[in-house]
Amino acid sequence: MFDTVSEADFKSAMKNLAAGVTLITSVSRTQRGGMTATAVCSLSAAPAQLVVCVNRQNATHQMIMESRKFCVNVLAADQSEVAHRFSNPHARTERFEHGQWSVLKTGAPVLMDALVAFDCELGEAIDSGTHSIFVGRVIGVHAQEQCSPLLYYRSGYAGITAHA
Amino acid sequence: MFDTVSEADFKSAMKNLAAGVTLITSVSRTQRGGMTATAVCSLSAAPAQLVVCVNRQNATHQMIMESRKFCVNVLAADQSEVAHRFSNPHARTERFEHGQWSVLKTGAPVLMDALVAFDCELGEAIDSGTHSIFVGRVIGVHAQEQCSPLLYYRSGYAGITAHA
């Protein structure tokens, strides 16, 4: 078994993987929480499942483990401000003050003007070093779709363009 | 526990999650194989790990299980043709005929003019219905970086644009 590459080399290389920007939200008792994330991907369509990778130090990780519910809100191109708010540790109290928030089935916060939202029950939770892989069983979706996506690439937000 | 949403609803909603396009390649004995995939995300930086979700029916799945090695080649904007070739079941024999292919540490095929390539040893393999979640321990990277990424969004290829 070889050693893995250094943290610096991995981070530098991973910047080249463009991804849609999401907010992963959860609720525990009456407290809402969430984080900005790009480590989200489809797992299977039948059953409808997705995967998110979350740092175990993140407050949202604990909230998901306790409540076993979360929502993946895929952001639209004009929502970089909310993405920034959910990644700024100093803006915790303001996170849910802007935007139209609701719930679907689980009770996890759903941003109604997100591009699409996946309301999930937690399936498997696989610990792997600093992070956990959470499998989300998708039990509700809310799609808005009248806009283009917000992307993250090389440490900055970006938009999409039709392919030349 | 609620039922998951229908396969059609999930697929329709998941089209809104834009993602970088990759080729996941592997090698078993002397045979090379690969598939086009967007279900790839970062897991942790220390150790350097990523996650890919692969359909168990796909020939590449079996190759990865046997060899316990694979490479994630992140494609550049001008590589939609190779993406198409690796997703076309009728073009199997032509897949490695175009482009500059090499290897890093594992021996899995590396597309040298990809945006970036992650050479991986298979860590955990978690079965989940029709698909497996493969954890890749990244033991080598090859970055080219002199270009922009190829994206997949709403069933078509797309490019990236600086955020307005």
pLDDT tens for each residue of A7-49 = 999 999 999 999 999 999 999 988 999 999 999 999 999 999 9
A121 Cα distance to chain centroid: 14
Lowest mean pLDDT, pick from A91-95, B13-17, B48-52: A91-95
DSSP A155: T
* Identity of residue B71: C
A5 contact residues in B (CB cutoff 8 A): 48, 138-141
Looking at the predicted structure, is the pLDDT value of residue B83 above 50? yes
Confidence class for position A164, pLDDT limits 50, 70, 90: very low
Confidence class for position A162, pLDDT limits 50, 70, 90: confident
Confidence class for position B163, pLDDT limits 50, 70, 90: low
Which has the closest alpha carbon to A70: A100, A15, A13, A111? Answer: A111
Looking at the predicted structure, is the pLDDT value of residue A163 above 80? no
**Which candidate from B4, B141, B161 shows the least CB-CB separation from A13?**
B141
Report residue A46: phi and psi, to 5°: -140, 95
pLDDT at B164: 45
Kindly state the average pLDDT of the residues B64-83: 97
Tokens 């219905």 found at: B129
Domains and CATH numbers, chain B: 20-158 (2.30.110.10)
Q: B74, A10: Cβ pair inside 8 Å?
A: no
Interface test mutation site (partner A, options B12, B14, B57, B61, max chain A beta carbons within 10 A): B14
Which has the closest alpha carbon to B40: B147, B143, B127, B152? Answer: B152
* pTM for this predicted structure: 0.96
B77 contact residues in A (CB cutoff 8 A): 163-164
Kindly state the average pLDDT of the residues B18-39: 96
Query: Which tens digits make up the pLDDT trace of A69-118?
Result: 999 999 999 999 999 999 988 877 789 998 999 999 999 999 999 999 99
For strand A48-55 and strand A110-111, is the pairing parallel, antiparallel, or unpaired?
Answer: unpaired
